[in-house]
Amino acid sequence: MVTERDVEHIAELADIGIRKEELGAFTGQFNAIIDYFDILDQVPAGPVIAHEIHNVLREDEVTPPLQVQEVLMNAGEHEDEFFKAPRVM
């Protein structure tokens, strides 16, 4: 069970400011989450069912690369053989 002191410690580690009046609510929420994990631990693990996977993608085809000028035709601006972008400071 998570205590209010535990919540304060976790908040300090995560650098999250929690006011004193919020401690009760957060403590309750932490404990509810932990209770859900306890419920999940009780679910029996059944056999893993493997589904047949069909390759729905196309086969790879090796094609010659685009020429630099073909690529730069789609650029807003370019300088020599490079894309030109706004300066970032």
Whether the pTM exceeds 0.95: the reply is no
Residues 2-38: pLDDT tens digits? 999 999 999 999 999 999 999 999 999 999 999 999 9
Spell out the residues 6+ positions from residue 77 whose beta carbon is closer than 8 angstroms to its own.
Answer: 83, 84, 85
Query: How far is it, in rounded angstroms, from Cα 75 to Cα 89?
Result: 22
Residues 36-75: pLDDT tens digits? 999 988 888 777 665 656 666 778 889 999 999 999 988 8
Query: How far is it, in rounded angstroms, from Cα 43 to Cα 45?
Result: 6
